[in-house]
Every structure is written in C-alpha cells, then in structure tokens.
Structure 1
Amino acid sequence: MPAPSVDPSVLTDITALADTKLADIDPLVAGRWATPVTWRQPVHTVYVPAHLVVGDNAPGADLPRRWASAAVDALDSYGSPADLARDLGVADEHADTVGELTREKLLREPIEDLRIDFEDGFTQRDIPQADRDADEDAMAQQAAEVLATWLSTPDSATPAFAGIRFKSFDPAVRDRGLRTLAIVLTGLAERNVLHEVLEHDRRALRLTLPKVQHHRQVDVFVDVLRAMEASLGLPEIPFEVQVETPQAVLAADGASEPARLIDAGRGRVLSLHYGTYDYSASLGVDAAEQSMDHPVADHAKDVLQVATTAVGVELSDGSTNRIPVGTRTEILEGWRIHHNLVARHLRRGIRQGWDLHAHQLVTRHLTTIAYFRADWRLSAERLRAYIAGDTSRWMDEPATAKAMAGYLLRAHACGAVTDQELELTGADHDQLRSLQVSGRL
C-alpha cells in the first residue's frame, strides 16, 4: 500500500496555526517548566538558635565541628555504625558499607546547610525587655562575622550553604526582622564576602523568610533586597520561603498560593520549606499529633511538590522535635523516629529536611546514604544500558533515564556513591547532568 500523501500547504497551515496559538505557552514548556533541580541541593538544613551560635559562651564559627564531635561520640557510644544501621532496618548486605560511609560523612561534612535562627528558636528570656533590641543587634553583627568565616573559607567542617532566618513580615515583628537582616548583609558586605559568594554560587548564602501568608509579602521582600543591593553595591540576592501557614497553601480566593509565591519572587526563590509545627498547629492539630507524617502535612507538601517541580525551585520537608538523647534505649527510639521520617520523605521524592540537634546528624546521613545505596547499582546498570541502546533487559524511556541520572547524582553528592562507582554508568558527570535534564545525551 502506498504511503498516504499529505498536502504540503495543509501541513504548513496547521503548523502555523499551532505555532501562533501556542506562542505564549512555548516559552514555558521549553523554559520555566523545563528546569529541574540539577545543582547540588543540601540533604538537610540545620537550624540553630542565634543565642546558641553567637551568644555568651557559644561556639561561634566552631559550631559545625562541635556538632560533628557530638554526633560521632553518640554513634561510637552506641556501638559499631553497622550495628546501628541494622537496628534501624538497613539490610545486612548494605549495613557495613552504610555504617562506614556514615561515619566518614560525619567526619568529612557533618552539616551541609546551616541557618542561624533569629526567629522561633531564638530566645531572650534573660534579657530585660528594654535591652533586647541592642542584644539582637550585637548578635546579628556576630552572626555576620560567623557567616563570613563559613562562606569565605570552606573546609571539611564548614557548611556548603549557610545563612539566617530572620523574623517574619508580621507587622508586630517586621521592623525587627528587617533590622537584623540589614545588619547581617551589611556586615557581610563590609567583610568583602557577599559579592564574591553571590558571583561564585548564588545558592551558598541562604536567607529564610518565615511565616509567609500572602505572595505580596514575597513581592515586597524582593523590593527590600533590591534596596539593600543598591545601597551596598551587591549583585542579586536570592532567598527561600518558609511555608507554615494555611494561607501559603490555599489563598483566600481558593487559588494555589505556592505558585504565586514563586512568581512573586521574580526568579529569586531558591526553595520552599515546609514548617511542621506552625502549620499543624494552625489547623488545630493537637501537639501530640503534630508530625511530618500527619495527613495535613502530606496535603501541604503534595501542593508544594507540584508547585516546585521542574521550575528550578527546591523543596524541603520540616523537622521532628523528638530529640535522640537520654539512655541508650531512648536515643535509639529517637533515632528510629527520625530515621523513619527521613526515609519517608526521601521515598516520596522530597530530598531535604530540617535537623535541630547534633544527634540527628547521625540518622540524617545514615538514612540518606542507606536510601541511595539500596538501588544505586541497579540504577547505574540500567542507565548504562539505556545510554548504549541495549534493550535486552530494560526498555527505559527518557523520563526514567532523567530520574535515574538525578538519583545517581544525588547519591554521589551526599557521599553514598563513590567516584569509581559512578563510573559504572559509562557517563561522566556532565553527561549525567545532561541526562537529568533531557533524558538524552
């Protein structure tokens, strides 16, 4: 049977019709909606109250080393790292390697991302009311010094990402939050740190805008940053938005607010962070029931995950306030809770969460490494076959290749997979990035 004939003029007409009608959509398909997170995203954000970082007798820039020491001591006191891995449910064939890599990670890079917290975690109980502004001013100045050290002299114990969380745009505290922000940015600029950091890696400095309730607050924050940039002669400063109110998930008019928050950021929003306890409490969930795995939390994160997918914005889960301290049994119980929550959000495709205590570093890294160790070899073999065009065992499509490349790159970045193991894919790092974006080389 002869091939059907298509009238060239008809083909020209229908192509022109589609091109014209979709002219405003094509840039979204090829641009905004085609921007997966291909850069390094931290596996966690550690939130430490400002007074525990730069207050009296606080460790200052040495805090990451102290947390690492406390985490390693807790791990070693429990027994071998492999024993803990098994007790947390890691398969026997992976336990020794996972335990070994976890201890190496705690010694090499214990904290990937750290936020000096001037918001909910920050307390001034012992400071007279009349002296609290001066006290916070002083701590903000010291925070700038600490951040300058971390951002300008990275080493094995220095966070790759660091910044502050300041007070929200609630009218009652907005002026205080902006004052702290201005002091920190000015301090960093005076130390000649900001310009170099922002030019080298705009994601290294992290500013957290908490308790956002309306996208106009994000829009105004962009204006605030533009004013600071003009004053200090700085390049564009990005930031992250903390979603911990119902209004930041569902707007008053019934629309999905997270997409509006990202739009209002005008290309500056790095990440959306879910706030476990504020959000749950605001919906009437009792304290005993508030958790990262509560149904209201899942709903909020489902909305956030859809809003951030493929638009170049990271997503972070929240925290658990069940701290692994006390007796050996109590510590293990706390580690089990944290392990299960971290594994849960990794399985649902959320690659980051919050940590609040040094002992949580143990299960943050052990759980993350265990998750990526579990399937790295199979993913690498499948990707190698996909690249070679070998369909004898798997018939993977570009979408699956994108997922496998992203999985392996994250596995490598967090310390779960070595350089040599990554070579099993048959692709170099740049090729894996290309596969992650398009599914093709």
Structure 2
Amino acid sequence: MSPVPAVPAVPEGAVPAVPEGFAAAYRDQQARYPAGEPGWQPVHTVYVPADRFTARTVSEWGEQASSLVKAHLPDADALAEVFGVPAGLAEGVHARLLTKLSTEPVEDLRIDFEDGYGVRPGEEEDRHVARAVEAVAALHAEGALPRRWGPRVKSFADGDPARSVRTLGLFVTGVAERAGGLPPGFTVTFPKILMEPYVTLFAGVLERLEARAGARLPFEMQVEAPQTLHFLRPELVQSLGGRLAAAHFGVFDYTAAIGLPPHEQRLDHPACDHARHVMQTALAGTGVELSDGSLAASPASGRTGDVHALWRRHAELVRHSLRHGFYQGWDMHPSHLVSRFATVYAFHLARYDDYRERVSAWEERRQAGGGIMDEPATIRTLAAALRRADAALP
C-alpha cells in the first residue's frame, strides 16, 4: 500500500479568505429557493360553479365517473385500447382507477365564483356563499371534504375588488364558524392578475382574515394573461411571506389574450408551451406548485364512440402536460376523472421499475445496465419521480 502523502504547509496568503458578503448572499438564496423534495400534490383541481355546488357534489362526480367506466371501459382490454396503455400495465391501471373513483374521486375542489359562475346581483352571490359554507361544513363533518379545497373568487382586474373580498371573507369566516375552525387543505384561487400590485394587495387581504380564520391562508395565482409572465420571479414569491402556494395556467384566457383564433385555443398549442416554460423557469426552486389548465369539452353524447373520443383527447392533453413537467391540471366534467387518473397512473407506472433500478444501482455504486451513465442531477430527478409516483398512485 502506498504511503499517504503528507499535507503540505500552506504559505500565508495562499488561500484567499471567504469573500465578504457570502453569508448574506447564502441566506438570500435559502429564502428565495427553499424547495426541498416533492411531496404530495393533487393530480387535478375540479372546478364546480358555486350555484351548482352541494354536499353531494363530490360523491356525485365519483358516481357519474364510475358509471361511465362501467358502461364504456368495462375491463383492462378496453382501457388498453382507449388510452394506448401497454397490455402489461392495463390491468393494474384499471384496478387503481376503480379504487380511486370509489374512494377519492376528487383530490382538489374549487368552488367557482368567477368565470364558471358569472356576475350575479350581490344578494344572490351572498346566498350562494352561505350555501357553499353549509356544504363544506357538511362534507367536513362526514369526513368527505377533499384533501385540498376552497373557492375561486373574482378578479381585481375588472375594477371592483369589493365583491371578491366580500365573497372570500364571508366564505372563510363562515366555514371557520360552522366547522369549528378552518379544516386542513384550504386554498383560494385568485384569477386574472394583470398588475403585480394586485398580488400583494390580495395577500394583504388574506393576512387580515387570518386572525378570524385562526389559520394560515394560502392562495394560488392564475396565469391567464401574458402580462402576468412579466412579474413572475422568486422575489415576488418571497415578498408574499409564504402565502403563494401555486400558479395555475389558464389556457383559454391566455390564448384569447395573445390573439389566437378560436380553433387554436388548446392546451397543447406551442404558445401555451412557452407560457408554461416561463412559469417553470421563473418559479423553479421556490416551492410554488404548478398546475396546467383544462379541456372545455364533455362527451358529445352517451354513445360509447363519443365517450371514447372525449377520453382520448383529454388523455392526449394530460400526457402533454406530464411530459412538460406539469403534474396537475383542471378537470371540468366527471368524464375527465376517468381519463385523468388512467393517464396519470399509466405515466407513473410505465417507468417506475426502471427508475427504481437505476437509483438502486447508483446507491450501490454499480452499473444499471443498458449503457446508461446517470449523472447526479438525473438520479435526483429519478428519485423525485419515484416519490411523486408513490404520492399519486392509490
């Protein structure tokens, strides 16, 4: 064995001192980019207009989706044909789909007081807020409230923030009073943010409500306009004191704002890819979750061909989002639950064993096989994908 060489003496001044100001810069780095390992994130957000929302909504969506599976997706062979899932995976995906629809059809629920609800007289919206409060309290009492839930309020961009703030205040304080405190999982969605100050002003509204609610009130911002992309940055997230939980892409408002023709208002348009990639780069490392938008369509009829056509189109869009690193999207109709869960489960299961083998090989300092030479950054990505799959799969 060769002798270990002695450490040479270091001449005075040969090693520079740590640069002055490093400690402050490092603290700033940790504050701006606090994100750790990915945890559970809902695979979807279900939007329901506030005037149609009841304590039965969640179970009704699950029942309707299960009925569609029974009628139009009876077995693994049908799932493999409709969604292009390999035969070896189809049985497992089908079983998981049935389990999910019967136990937790909705992971994230948004009671919509904005576009899906429209502009109503003030007293009417107040009545619908009161009804929504009662429904949320009932769901909570039954243990059936989704893991994430909350309202989408109106924008400040129309020049009338009073309605948005009133609905939010009545909803939050009402639920807290009826449920004996605000149940876990609350978030509020803030849409159409054309001006950066609106984000700070809305966070201030939440801060003032927190004392009444007895809980921290996080919010999601919707990215629905090209103007919003200009002020997405880590410093904005940091200034909000941890209240910004997520950024959701709004495909239809965004494509309309940049002048795309109606037939090109689609989630997989290259212009939407650009917007999503700006969101990713601007918010990377901040801990802000990202969600994609929706498909504004339902089956044209109850015939199997029309149901399958809807599922195939929705599955294409879900796969597009997943390939681009967006692991959550909006679902607007019970039929979407089927194509959402089937596509998400197939996506995670298709490479799960391969990813696990490559991570194990790296940890054991051996070759994974197949001529692959994994970099440390790839291993971190593989490990994150496994954690994300474990959190998403029932």
Q: Same fold (TM over 0.5)?
A: yes
3-state SS of 2:217 partner: coil
- 2: CA distance, partners of 1:209 / 1:163: 11
- When residues 258 and 169 of structure 1 are mapped into structure 2, their CA distance, relative to the original with a 3 A threshold, is farther
- When residues 9 and 221 of structure 1 are mapped into structure 2, their CA distance, relative to the original with a 3 A threshold, is farther
| Number of the residue aligned with 1:75 | 69
| Number of the residue aligned with 1:229 | 210
Q: What percent identity do the matched residue pairs reach?
A: 36
1:151–1:160 Cα contact (<8 Å) kept = no
- 1: CA distance, partners of 2:250 / 2:11: 57
User: How far did residue 266 of structure 1 move?
Assistant: 2.3
- When residues 153 and 308 of structure 1 are mapped into structure 2, their CA distance, relative to the original with a 3 A threshold, is farther
Task: Tell me the amino acid that sits aligned with residue 221 of structure 2.
Answer: V
Q: What is the TM-score when the length of structure 1 is the normalising length?
A: 0.82
- When residues 9 and 323 of structure 1 are mapped into structure 2, their CA distance, relative to the original with a 3 A threshold, is farther
| Number of the residue aligned with 1:104 | 99
User: How far did residue 22 of structure 1 move?
Assistant: 2.6
Task: Tell me the amino acid that sits aligned with residue 178 of structure 2.
Answer: R
Find the partner of 2:160 among 173, 191, 199. Answer: 173
Find the partner of 2:137 among 148, 171, 181. Answer: 148
- 2: CA distance, partners of 1:274 / 1:97: 31
| Number of the residue aligned with 1:16 | 18
Q: What is the TM-score when the length of structure 2 is the normalising length?
A: 0.91
3-state SS of 1:221 partner: helix
User: How far did residue 163 of structure 1 move?
Assistant: 0.4
Question: Which structure exhibits the higher relative contact order, with contacts defined as CA atoms closer than 8 Å and separated by 6 or more residues?
Answer: 2
1:316–1:350 Cα contact (<8 Å) kept = yes
- In the alignment, structure 1 segments of 5+ residues that lack a partner are 54-59, 251-255, 417-441
Deviates more, 1:364-373 or 1:168-177: 168-177
2:156–2:164 Cα contact (<8 Å) kept = yes
Residues 236-288 of structure 1 show CA distances to partners (whole Å, capped at 9, x for unaligned) of 211111110111012xxxxx435454244221100000001001101111111
Find the partner of 2:242 among 240, 262, 267. Answer: 267
3-state SS of 1:47 partner: strand
Aligned positions, number: 387
3-state SS of 1:76 partner: helix
| Number of the residue aligned with 1:332 | 308
1:204-353 equivalences in 2 (<5 Å): 204-230=185-211, 232=212, 234-250=214-230, 256-259=231-234, 261-326=236-301, 327-353=303-329
Task: Tell me the amino acid that sits aligned with residue 71 of structure 2.
Answer: S
3-state SS of 1:190 partner: helix
3-state SS of 1:359 partner: helix
2:250–2:293 Cα contact (<8 Å) kept = yes
2:232–2:283 Cα contact (<8 Å) kept = no
Task: Tell me the amino acid that sits aligned with residue 66 of structure 1.
Answer: E
Task: Tell me the amino acid that sits aligned with residue 203 of structure 2.
Answer: V
| Number of the residue aligned with 1:412 | 390
- In the alignment, structure 2 segments of 5+ residues that lack a partner are none
RMSD value over aligned CA atoms?
Answer: 2.3
- 2: CA distance, partners of 1:189 / 1:161: 16
